[in-house]
């Protein structure tokens, strides 16, 4: 597979097996630079495993992938420098203040103190958190925390940011604000790779893929998918695909 610099993520027949169980089965996708790519699928469909491989957290069993221009087998350390990650669990330190969190996460990406100082000031102004600077993160409302978490994930200006169900448990207004941040990031040239269970959010994406039983069952723009399945809503598309699934919670 040749690396194409217009793509941030290129995966070809990427597979992960745990013993006899094939968690991810030959998934192939190309995500363009600056694209917002939705990664959908029912629980247990293999989304998290696929994402872990793309982040360099898990070595694929077979297949190939180039992430931010780096080979997923050989250049894991390079990948880590070029991606940002926000997990579905809230993952800032609650016993640290906003600034301390920003300084820590910037620091482990190797950012210098002066660089960090400017970045964290800009971040706080952008989020309108000037009055909360000295507060511990634990005392902030969930919506703020998630926005902060996202801003921290893109602090070091990664090429791609991976978001694992970033809006779980957040109210609709904050979700909307959160998506504004995602658009800003995409406009700034950051590729956004996002998993979600909210199908209205899927409509905000440039393209989406839907995983069923470890494979990608559909991959296209939301409009094209709705056309293809001859329906008005993404809910129906998802239901149509996912109801045949053998794996899952039930």
Partner 1 sequence: MQTSFSSLKNQLFSFVRKEFYHVLRDKKVLLILFGLPVVQVLLFGFVLSNEVKDSRLVIVDMAKDEASRQLTNKFEASRYFETDLISANEADIEVAFRRGKIKAAIVFPSNFQYDLQHGNKTQLQIITDGTDVNQANTINGYISSIVYNFVSESNQQTVPYRVVPEIRMLYNPQLQGAPNFVPGVMAMVLMLVCVLMTSVSIVREKELGTMEVLLVSPMQPALAIISKALPYLLLSFLNLLIIIALSVYVLDVPVKGNIFLLISVSTLFIVTCLSLGILISTNTNTQQEAMFVSLIGMLMPTMLLSGFMFPIENMPLALQIVSNIVPSRWYYIIVKDVMIKGAGIESIWMETLILGGMGLFFFVVSMKKFKIRLA
Burial 26-47 (b: 16+ CB within 10 A, else e): ebbbbbebbbbbbbbbbebbbb
Q: Which residues, 188 to 247, sit near partner 1 by CB under 8 A? A: none
Q: Which residues, 94 to 113, sit near partner 1 by CB under 8 A? A: 95-96, 100, 103-113
Cα separation of 194 and 192, whole Å? 6
Cβ of residue 165: shortest distance to partner 1, in angstroms?
12
Which position among 1, 62, 73, 93 is part of the footprint of partner 1 (CB under 8 A)?
93
Q: Which is nearer to partner 1, 31 or 237 (CB)?
A: 31
Cα separation of 132 and 117, whole Å? 16
Window of 9-17, 26-34, 89-97, 215-223 that interacts with partner 1 by CB under 8 A: 89-97
Q: Give how far the C-alpha of residue 29 lies from the chain's centroid of Cα atoms, to the nearest Å.
A: 15
Cβ of residue 225: shortest distance to partner 1, in angstroms?
30
Burial 106-126 (b: 16+ CB within 10 A, else e): beebebeeeebeebbeebbee
Cα separation of 19 and 8, whole Å? 30
Q: Which is nearer to partner 1, 19 or 110 (CB)?
A: 110
Which position among 14, 55, 190, 212 is part of the footprint of partner 1 (CB under 8 A)?
55
Q: Which residues, 116 to 155, sit near partner 1 by CB under 8 A? A: none
Q: Which two tokens stand for residue 16?
A: 């992960």
Cα separation of 144 and 136, whole Å? 12
Cβ of residue 248: shortest distance to partner 1, in angstroms?
23
Q: Which is nearer to partner 1, 76 or 240 (CB)?
A: 76
Q: Residues interacting with partner 1, by CB under 8 A?
A: 55-59, 77, 80-81, 83, 85-87, 89-93, 95-96, 100, 103-113, 162
């Amino acid at each position: 597979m040749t690396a194409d610099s217009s793509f941030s993520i290129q995966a070809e027949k990427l597979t992960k097996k745990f013993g006899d169980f094939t968690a991810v089965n030959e998934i192939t996708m190309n995500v363009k630079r600056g694209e917002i790519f939705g990664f959908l699928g029912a629980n247990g469909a293999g989304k998290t495993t696929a994402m872990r491989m793309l982040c360099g957290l898990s070595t694929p069993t077979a297949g190939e992938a180039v992430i931010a221009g780096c080979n997923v087998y050989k250049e894991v350390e390079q990948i880590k420098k070029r991606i940002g990650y926000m997990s579905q669990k809230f993952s800032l330190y609650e016993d640290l203040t906003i600034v301390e969190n920003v300084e820590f996460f910037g620091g482990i990406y190797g950012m210098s103190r002066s660089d960090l100082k400017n970045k964290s000031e800009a971040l706080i102004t952008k989020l309108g958190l000037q009055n909360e600077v000295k507060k511990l993160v634990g005392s902030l409302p969930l919506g703020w925390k998630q926005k902060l978490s996202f801003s921290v994930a893109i602090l070091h200006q990664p090429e791609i940011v991976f978001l694992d169900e970033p809006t779980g448990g957040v109210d609709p207004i904050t979700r909307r604000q959160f998506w504004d941040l995602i658009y800003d990031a995409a406009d700034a040239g950051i590729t956004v790779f996002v998993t979600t269970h909210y199908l209205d959010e899927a409509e905000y994406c440039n393209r989406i893929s839907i995983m069923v039983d470890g494979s990608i069952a559909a991959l296209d723009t939301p409009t094209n998918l709705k056309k293809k399945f001859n329906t008005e809503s993404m809910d129906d598309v998802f239901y149509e695909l996912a109801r045949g699934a053998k794996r899952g919670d039930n």
